[in-house]
Chain A
Amino acid sequence: MRMPDSFNKYLDETGATSRFTYRYFHELVRPRYEIRQFLRQCYLIGYTSLPLIGITGFIMGLVLTIQLRPSLISYGVESQLPVMVALAIVREIGPVITALIFAGKISSSIGAELGSMKVTEQIDAMEVSGTNPFKYLVVTRVAASTLMLPVLVMISDAISLYGSYLGVNIRGNTSLRLFFFQVFQTLQFGDVLPAFIKTFFFGFAIGIIGCYKGYNSSKGTEGVGRSANSAVVVSSLMVFIIDLIAVQITDILGLN
């Protein structure tokens, strides 16, 4: 029986990505360690994403609060507004939306950067300069995005909650202390931990897919564009897939 070509291509791609991921872990643990490059990437990937993540987080919290209020009023539980919003943000919306924005910004820029380095032979040039380009370029970027996304999500969550506090205060009246007291009283360990853990996987997937697409970019500027584009598409899709898997696992473990 013959498989359709597109299916074969999909399998090829999956296999190649797995080998790439295997190589990542293999090179991650072996010396030499590119510490300076890693810190530089943490700065570039993490710090420079802060404004974008902050603004979207703030708007998310504010809008969600305004949207939820009428429903809660109709059920007569308006006082639960801060709690509802906090649960939604911390458990699901914060990590996923932040990861999607991160994917759009970081995955595409890594894909385009490594892609253009590939087609202009910069990666070959590194190799003849006594540098392992996989360590120097890929390992540092993937490690940085794995570690930076969780931090960004925490910051985004905090800003979202502040946005939500302002949202509550548009029509109601609550103090910042009361708001956060209410929020933290309801939020449980089981709400925070799984959400926090899955962000590492989001960050890892976004980094590795961006690097894979760029590192295997085909010749020509068109190839670079295609790498950047498919890096965003695939890594955004992966965020949802990982989210789906994560929710099943937390369910099985009874952390809900």
Chain B
Amino acid sequence: MEGHSSDAVIAIDKLVKKFGEKVVLNEFTVDLKRGENLVVLGRSGSGKSVLIKCVIGLMRPESGTINVLGEDVLSLDHDGLDNIRSRVGFLFQSNALYDSMTVKQNLEFPMRRHLKNIDFKESMDRIMDALENVGLAHTLNMMPSELSGGMQKRIALARTLILNPEIILYDEPTTGLDPITGKEITLLIKDIQEKYKTSSIIISHDMKCVKRAADRIAVLVNGSCYAVDTYDNLKRSSDPNINQFFE
């Protein structure tokens, strides 16, 4: 796309999202480059979840453009959107594991839906791979409610990985976990980036996670992208809008 560096896998331009009178995103602009981990930093309620839900077409912005893997998300029809969604993984803030299904069925679901005629053996192999990636192969036949919060997060991550996405959107992957589990998840995210060469947008205000995982950080203030830079550069900044996150 013109105006953006050619290696951008997601290009968000002048995104505006309102709920009634309330402006949540106001001309938000940012690029995600191939292979990088971009962290979006912002206060609670600043519109971070809304931002990545717009990227995957779960919410419709009022104006602006979103380009994902060369496709203009806002002008895609149903099938086009499905195609993009099969290439972009989404880790939900609340895990969103289907609580009426076992772990196995949870992982099967996106596969059976996106790849309509995948055979049984291949799907089983992929499930075991994904579970081993997150170290939870033994939970195959358990229900999500039998798992701890950290385990649920890892299963959700396994479900996100099962379609081998090129891009992963993480919505607060470490929030609500103890520091040790949080660190494990962060390392897992780094591993995935290196192993599968994925590009990711990570939403977080857990500074330990941010420091470890981020290649670049976008600071979301008052609905727009206030600054984009590396962790070290932002930490040195004297701007109070940026400082507040690094205390």
Contact = CB atoms under 8 A, between A and B. Distances in A.
B85 A121 contact: no
B95 A120 contact: yes
B1 interface: no
A129 B113 contact: yes
A131 interface: yes
Contact of B98 (A122, A128, A130): A122
A222 to B, nearest CB: 16
A225 to B, nearest CB: 17
Interface in B84-119: 85-86, 88, 90, 92-100, 109-110, 113-114
A129 B109 contact: yes
A124 B114 contact: no
Contact of B58 (A117, A127, A131): A127
A131 B111 CA distance: 11
B56 interface: yes
A121 B96 contact: yes
B82 interface: yes
Contacts of B109: 126, 129, 131
B92 A125 contact: yes
Nearest to B106: A125
Nearest to A113: B100
Range class of the A interface residue count: 10 to 19
Most chain A beta-carbon neighbours within 10 Å: one of B94, B96, B98, B99: B96
A130 B94 contact: no
A122 B99 CA distance: 9
Given A122-B98, A124-B53, A129 B114 contact: yes
Given A129-B109, A130-B110, A121 B93 contact: yes
A121 B82 contact: no
B92 A121 contact: yes
A227 to B, nearest CB: 16
Contacts of B85: 127-130
A239 to B, nearest CB: 27
Contacts of B86: 130
Interface in A97-124: 113, 116-117, 119-122, 124
A128 B99 contact: no
Nearest to B59: A124
A86 to B, nearest CB: 41
B91 to A, nearest CB: 10
Most chain B beta-carbon neighbours within 10 Å: one of A125, A127, A128: A128
A127 to B, nearest CB: 6
A130 B113 contact: yes
Contacts of B100: 113
B38 to A, nearest CB: 19
Nearest to A125: B96
Contact of A124 (B58, B82, B88): B58
B219 to A, nearest CB: 25
A120 B96 contact: yes
Contacts of A124: 53, 58, 92, 96
B114 to A, nearest CB: 4
Contacts of B56: 128
A144 to B, nearest CB: 15
Given A130-B114, A131-B113, A125 B98 contact: yes
Given A122-B99, A124-B53, A124-B58, A129 B94 contact: no
Contacts of A120: 94-96, 99
Given A128-B56, A130-B86, A121 B110 contact: no
Nearest to B116: A130
Contact of A128 (B58, B93, B94, B97): B58
Contacts of B90: 125, 128
A127 B86 CA distance: 11
B117 to A, nearest CB: 13
Contacts of B82: 130
B54 to A, nearest CB: 12
Contacts of A116: 99
Top 4 nearest A-B pairs by Cβ distance? A125-B96, A129-B110, A130-B113, A121-B96
23 contacts: A113-B100, A121-B92, A121-B94, A121-B96, A122-B96, A122-B98, A122-B99, A124-B58, A125-B90, A125-B96, A126-B109, A127-B85, A128-B85, A128-B88, A129-B85, A129-B109, A129-B110, A130-B82, A130-B85, A130-B110, A130-B113, A130-B114, A131-B113
Given A128-B58, A130-B113, 13 more contacts: A113-B100, A116-B99, A120-B96, A121-B94, A124-B92, A125-B92, A127-B85, A128-B56, A128-B85, A128-B110, A129-B114, A130-B86, A131-B109
